[in-house]
Amino acid sequence: MPETRAVWGIEIGQAGLKAIKLRYAEAAHQVVAVGFDYIPHAKILSQPDAIPDELINEAITKFLSRNKLEGDIIAVGLPAQSSLARFIQLPPVEAGKVKEIVKYEAKQQIPFPLEDVIWDYQQMGGGDEAGGFMIDAEVGIFAMKRDQVMHQLRPFQNNKVEIELMQIAPLALFSYLSFDQLGIRPGEEGAPAPDEHTAVLDMGADQSTIMVTNGEKIWIRNIPIGGNHFTRALTKEMKLTFAKAEHLKCNATKSPDPKAVFQALKPVFNDYLSEVQRSLGYFGSVSKGEEINKVVGCGNGFRMAGLQKFLEQNLEIPVERAEEFKQLVGTSVLEAQLFRDNVMTFTVAYGLAIQAMGLSTAETTLLPPEIARAREIRRKKPWAAITAATLLTGLALSTIGTANAWRTVHTEPWDRTLSKSQQLQQTWGGYKSSYDSATGRYNSAKAVGATLVEGMKDTIWLEFYKSLSECLPRDIGAALDEDNLEYRNRVLIKSITMENSDDLAGWYEGLSSHYVDLSREAAASAGLQEMPAPEGEGYIVTLNGEHYHHIPDKPETDQGINYLLDRVIPALQSWTFKQEDGPRVDVRRMGITNPVVTMAKQQIVNLEQRSKNLREKPRINVIDPRTNPQNTFDPLMEEGSPPDMGYEGGQVQPGKRPVDLREVHQTLFQIEFVWKPIPEEERLEADPLAPADAEEGAE
């Protein structure tokens, strides 16, 4: 089951820090992007005058100052050029001895003593188990020198950030491609055919990485050409500084002489093409002629004008840019201009977060095992201490009880047994009396409930309340974490009244023309058809409530009455309405019409004044409310706090509530509308859009 906590995928490259925050929406089975950050370094880390450790520390410090990581899972990428990946075919081996064989192979494949490296392995597809033996199993071994891993980990440790996953960049690209492009999910069938291979070409600052996979097996190779090679070609041929050459490379089509720019870049283009062709040709030779169907380019270097078309024409393979993440939702991130401008450089961070959420078939990690082990022990230590204390307490009590039993002289065992029998009879009598009393109260409450619902079998009222509830704004997704009351999308309905009227036209004519016009204009702005004035008989529904939504720079839509006109009135005038995370409900189709805001009053209140209006002693006895005990629960006190405690002058004061003097904008309002119930079987005739709605519901 995917991890439901928020996950940060972080990659620190030569040019900057890239991070994306994902959360799994279990109800919708979707991955939601809820945050991101892009922090370019002041200098590229490989420049001669750059100090990489200082630049990385500055980027991490700025990232932590802008983002809250408390409670989130953190996954960090490791550079491909510092890592080692080997893929080996195991001989037939007993299933229980695979780990021993892999360790032996690791000693042969890794050119360093195993105690000097961090390594892990994973079966990469294939392999059948027959008679307790694994046959034709392919295993991937991934490693990096311990001192390099600790060097990558140190800036996070200095800032007290706990890392849950450390993964090499090529495997993060594999997680991105398999989840987002190939649609592969762990434990599910439907993987692409083994002969359909896709290559990911990630252009970094100083080198590129090519990763080829069919969703099961992986092949990796590093190419010693990156974006800086193109920049250096411009500095040499056109006599420019590095900064000016970098700007010209990214904006070649807008330069005064684009032809001269491309002429200077042509040798590097040809070298890059040769390396890619050599890599793909070598893959074909080791994979027994399997073909690559598509190349996906990523990294900001791949934004260079003409590179995609140049590779596609010469490789004779479709080449695409990773300009969108198909399996992600979350408009606040995906439509942000900074993210859209740099989307191709977030592929590694995306893949890291996907693996940390458990949505990738990649399972390896290069997090030092001693750190993972210490963290696991720290998590289990409180439970171990509690278990040990419980066992010791039970042993002590048992020992004391046994000692007392052996010390007692058993002279009257019969009298004691008889006394216990009498006590049990008295206890049973008390329980029976309590049970009979509870049964009587239950039967009384059941009788009262029966009178309340007797003869009420019309479920259209339940549908009415559901439709009304869905039309009210609410927070969805990451907005649920918002702690500013004025930024929350919440409307409090204090009362709902209904009046059966046989003169709806008279009621509508008596409304203020100013409020009627405002409500009509709000519906028209939303593209809704204007409603005729009501007539005949029906219900007049009145909603009285309040809201605190007030965004300072959006007075036309997110303040006072305008918030109601923008969010509530169009919903109540729609034929059908659907929240982003809710079902589609009938509104006008079921007879709800002519919504009008008939009163809106805005005032500034502090939270202490607001808290005084909360009901402290709710009625809980439906038979006789007068018999309820005094309810001492204070809704403003945190759960577990002692009652009748408050704060004053920074000190705890008995008998007082915590005082909160923050001021907020409160809007008291009244909305009225008409409801002439339409049975479900007659709605298709009432709604001209009903066939389209029905088709959408079927889909």
What interhelical angle do 227-238 and 258-286 show, nearest 10?
150
- Mean pLDDT lowest for which of 299-308, 370-379, 497-506? 370-379
Contact criterion met (CB below 8 Å) for 599 and 514: no
Per-residue pLDDT, 642? 43
CA distance 52 to 571: 54
Average pLDDT over residues 514-524: 91
φ/ψ of 671, rounded to 5, equals -120, 135
**How many CB atoms neighbour CB 234 within 10 A?**
23
Contact assessment for residue 141 and residue 121, using Cβ atoms and an 8 Å cutoff? yes
Which of 329-343, 662-676, 685-699 is predicted least confidently?
Answer: 685-699
Mean pLDDT taken over the chain: 84
Contact at 8 Å (CB) between 365 and 67? no
State both tokens at 571. Answer: 């919903």
Cβ neighbour number for residue 156 with a 10 Å cutoff = 19
> Mean pLDDT over residues 113-127, rounded?
85
Would you say the C-alpha torsion 243, 244, 246, 251 has a positive or negative sign? positive
Helix (H, G, I), strand (E, B) or coil at 502: coil
Could you tell me the pTM of the whole model? Answer: 0.56
Q: What is the 3-state secondary structure (H, E, C) of 311-332?
A: HHHHHCCCEEECCCCCCEECHH
Report pLDDT digits (tens) over 310-326. 999 999 999 999 999 99
Residues 6+ apart with CB under 8 A from 584: 576, 577, 578, 693, 696, 697
List all residues 6 or more positions away from 356 whose beta carbon is below 8 Å from its beta carbon: 3, 7, 9, 73, 74, 75, 164, 165
Question: Residue 358 and residue 348: Cα distance in Å, rounded?
Answer: 16
- 611 pLDDT band, cuts 50/70/90, is low
What is the C-alpha separation between 573 and 592, in angstroms, rounded? Answer: 7
What is residue 442's predicted lDDT score, i.e. its pLDDT? 92
Q: Strand, coil or helix: what is 7?
A: strand
| Side-chain-side CA neighbours of residue 565 (13 Å) | 22
Q: What is the pLDDT of residue 195?
A: 67
CA distance 357 to 324: 20
Q: Where do the DSSP E strands lie in 536-590?
A: 538-547, 576-578, 584-586
Query: How far, in whole angstroms, is CA 62 from its chain's centroid?
Result: 23
Name the strand (E) or helix (H) holding 411: none
Element (H, E) at 280: helix 258-286
- How sure is the predictor about 410, in pLDDT bands with cuts at 50, 70 and 90? low
Please tell me the least confidently modeled range out of 202-216, 381-395, 493-507, 584-598: 381-395
Rg (CA), the chain: 35
Say if residues 552 and 516 touch (Cβ distance below 8 Å): no
The domain ranges of the chain are 1-79+146-183+327-395, 190-326, 460-612+652-698
Task: Name the token pair of 107.
Answer: 């000693």
What are 628's two structure tokens? 């309820």
- Rounded to an integer, the average pLDDT of 506-522 is 92
Q: Read off φ and ψ for residue 596, nearest 5 degrees.
A: -140, 130
Q: Which residues of 92-117 are buried (b: 16+ CB within 10 A; e: fewer)?
A: ebeeeebeebbeebbeebbeeeeeeb
Residue 397 pLDDT level (bands cut at 50, 70, 90): confident
Is the pLDDT assigned to residue 300 strictly greater than 80? yes
Distance CA 671, CA 569 (A): 9
Q: Do domains 1-79+146-183+327-395 and 190-326 have the same CATH topology?
A: yes
pLDDT one-digit tens code per residue, 545-557: 999 999 999 989 8
The CATH superfamily of 1-79+146-183+327-395 is: ATPase, nucleotide binding domain (3.30.420.40)
Total Cβ atoms within 10 A of residue 648 = 10
Alpha-carbon gap, residue 148 to 167, rounded angstroms: 13
Report whether pLDDT(582) > 80: yes
- Count how many residues are written for the chain: 699
**Which CATH number, 3.30.420.40, 3.90.1150.10, 3.40.190.10, 3.30.70.1140, labels domain 190-326?**
3.30.420.40
**pLDDT at res. 213:** 92
Evaluate if residue 646 carries a pLDDT over 50: no
Q: What is the mean pLDDT of residues 101-123?
A: 89
Q: What percentage of residues in the chain have a pLDDT greater than 70?
A: 84
| Side chain identity at residue 471, one-letter code | C
Q: Which of 78, 105, 80 is nearest to 90 (CA)?
A: 105
Residue 661 scores a pLDDT above 90: no
Q: What is the pLDDT of residues 252-289, one digit of tens each?
A: 777 888 888 888 889 999 999 999 999 998 888 888 77
User: Do 301 and 227 touch, CB atoms closer than 8 A?
Assistant: yes
Q: How far apart are CA 687 and CA 347, in angstroms?
A: 46
Residue 452: predicted pLDDT: 67
Residue with tokens 């046959």: 135
pLDDT above 90: percentage of residues in the chain: 48
Name the residue with higher pLDDT: 449 or 623: 449
Per-residue pLDDT at 690: 53
pLDDT digits (tens, 9 = 90+) for 362-389: 999 999 998 888 877 776 766 666 777 7
Give 310's contacts (C-beta < 8 A, 6+ positions apart).
Answer: 269, 273
- Per-residue 3-state assignment (H helix, E strand, C coil) for 142-211: EEEEHHHHHHHHHHHHHCCCCCCEEEEHHHHHHHHHHHHHCCCCCCCCCCCCCCCEEEEEEECCCCEEEE
